[in-house]
Amino acid sequence: MITLSLTEIARATGSASAVDDVDVTGGAQQDSRVVGPGDLFVAIAGERTDGHAHVAAALAAGGVGALVTDPARPVADGVDPARLVVVPDTVDALGDLARHSLAALRSSGRPGVVAVTGSVGKTTTKDLLVDLLQPRGPLVAPPGSLNNEVGLPLTVLRADEATTTLVLEMGADRVGNLTYLTSVAPPDVSVVLAVGRAHLGHFGGIDNVARTKAELVSGLAPGGTAVLNADDERVAAMARLAPGEVLTFSASGATGADVVATDVRSDDAGHAVFTLRTDRGSAEVVLALVGPHHVANALAATAAGLALGEDLAELAARLRVAGPRSAHRTAVSTLDGDVLLLDDSYNANPDSMRAGLATLSAIAPGRRRVAVLGHMLELGEESAAEHAGLAPELAAHGIEAVVVVGAEAAPLADAARDAGIQVDDLTGASPDAIAGRVREITRPGDAVLLKGSRGSGVWEVADLLTPGGGRASAPEAARDEKMRP
């Protein structure tokens, strides 16, 4: 974060507070437990706790000041009112502060801002962008999926004068979300991966999903570049909204796309192998990531790198070693008894569920296949049909046994039974009970997929099954609980 005084922060957020003219030399934090010397604490009233109850602790830990909506509780706890920047809404103020900070940095010509959105693949593509763009210089990107009105500004505020590249993930569950996020951080490069059927209950239909994802293109900085998926007609149509250059990518080898994969296949370990072709040349790539669906993510990240002037051969070389950075995303491990575990449990929607099943099939030839599938949330009226619609996919990919988790997945359990698949319906069971049952039904040499919406708790089952797992991913879960599709 650039150094700002509390006076400057008050001015940037429209606060009339009379504050001490002391500098915030650290960062902005919404979790009082991680506040350190020089930090600004942002008090947010959440579902579980109200940050105003922790202002005193944050300042005692070395925080310089706090953004608050109601100073009464902090003052009652002994906090000096001159350390409180009082605003009508701390989330809005956080966005204002991030907008101000980024504008100040850009006045000197950097950082370059790359933003990615899409119904599937955002976090993986963001992680790939980190690996591909780090050689440009100091880079800031969010851990996990900090992609909403709180997480994105906090990420922006981590950038300082040394930052060369700012990589952002932008999520949405309603029309207008991305318009707001791009107002905070207008991208130089906007990457749109796909328009899928995630969270249709909030959006009200696929057309509204497309309209919302298109906001990332409309929100580009002047002269910015749109990177669009030529294989998704709704995404490709966003080209007309771009204020500058458009680069398209195609995992299917579509004629006319700018960044294309041809001769796509998988090696014995499930890594995608393909020829990467552009008008700047071609390169052979073996992805470090597991699963054929990552080809599109790799192409999108490559196109963004090209838009920033990176060399094609260098980008291809980096793709070969760019593995998963975030937990529970196509992570492959081997359990006792040579059981192959594919942990893709971070989140799920109908499209990513199908991709997960295809990946299991690709990496497990000759193995008996088991799927632990949690329910997919916020699908609205389509929920039952979307869950039941996965049963043919189970059969097509040779799934012999499925463990179903979460009440909304009941139609999947019924449809899978009708398809002749062994079903354990563990809706309502604890993660420990589910993990125990998975251990009971797996045989030596099996391959197991874990996949489900975050709220289904399948990621907790993955932690229990994975060597050294336990509850290791719980901190990331807490940090990212407000991430968006």
Give the mean pLDDT per block of 10 residues along the chain (485 residues).
Answer: 96 96 95 96 90 96 96 95 97 98 92 94 92 96 87 96 96 90 98 78 74 96 97 96 96 94 89 93 92 93 97 94 77 90 88 90 91 89 90 94 91 93 90 93 95 90 76 34 47
User: What is d(CA 184, CA 187) in angstroms, rounded to the nearest whole number?
Assistant: 10
* pLDDT for the residue 202: 60
Q: Which residues contact 312 (CB under 8 A, 6 or more apart)?
A: 276, 278, 280, 281, 283, 302, 306
* pLDDT for the residue 466: 85
What CATH architecture does domain 110-319 belong to?
Answer: 3-Layer(aba) Sandwich (3.40)
* pLDDT for the residue 201: 53
Cβ proximity of 440 and 410 under 8 Å = no
For residue 404, the SS3 value is strand
With CA atoms as reference, report the closest residue to 371 among 351, 384, 355, 383: 355
* pLDDT for the residue 228: 98
Cβ proximity of 352 and 118 under 8 Å = no
Could you tell me where the DSSP H helices lie in 167-282? 177-184, 200-203, 206-218, 233-236
Cβ proximity of 326 and 360 under 8 Å = no
With CA atoms as reference, report the closest residue to 168 among 145, 200, 134, 150: 145
Q: Where in the chain is the domain with CATH 3.40.1190.10?
A: 110-319
Cβ proximity of 295 and 272 under 8 Å = yes
Which neighbouring-strand residues pair with 447? 340, 369
User: What is d(CA 152, CA 159) in angstroms, rounded to the nearest whole number?
Assistant: 12
* pLDDT for the residue 472: 34
What strands lie across the sheet with 399-405, from one edge to the other? 331-335, 339-343, 447-451, 369-374, 399-405, 422-425
For the record, the structure tokens of 8 come out as 């400057």
Cβ proximity of 264 and 273 under 8 Å = yes
User: What is d(CA 102, CA 121) in angstroms, rounded to the nearest whole number?
Assistant: 26
Q: Where in the chain is the domain with CATH 3.40.1390.10?
A: 4-89
Cβ proximity of 340 and 332 under 8 Å = yes
User: What is d(CA 301, CA 460) in angstroms, rounded to the nearest whole number?
Assistant: 30
Classify residue 166 by its DSSP letter.
Answer: E
Amino acid identity of 257? A
* pLDDT for the residue 25: 95
Which CATH number applies to 331-479: 3.20.20.70, 3.90.190.20, 2.40.30.170, 1.10.10.1100? Answer: 3.90.190.20
Q: Which secondary structure element, helix H or strand E, spans residue 441, and what is its range? A: helix 431-441
Q: Where in the chain is the domain with CATH 3.90.190.20?
A: 331-479
4-89 CATH:
3.40.1390.10
Which neighbouring-strand residues pair with 4? 24
What crossing angle do the helices spanning 177-184 and 206-218 adopt, rounded to 10°?
A: 10
* pLDDT for the residue 453: 87
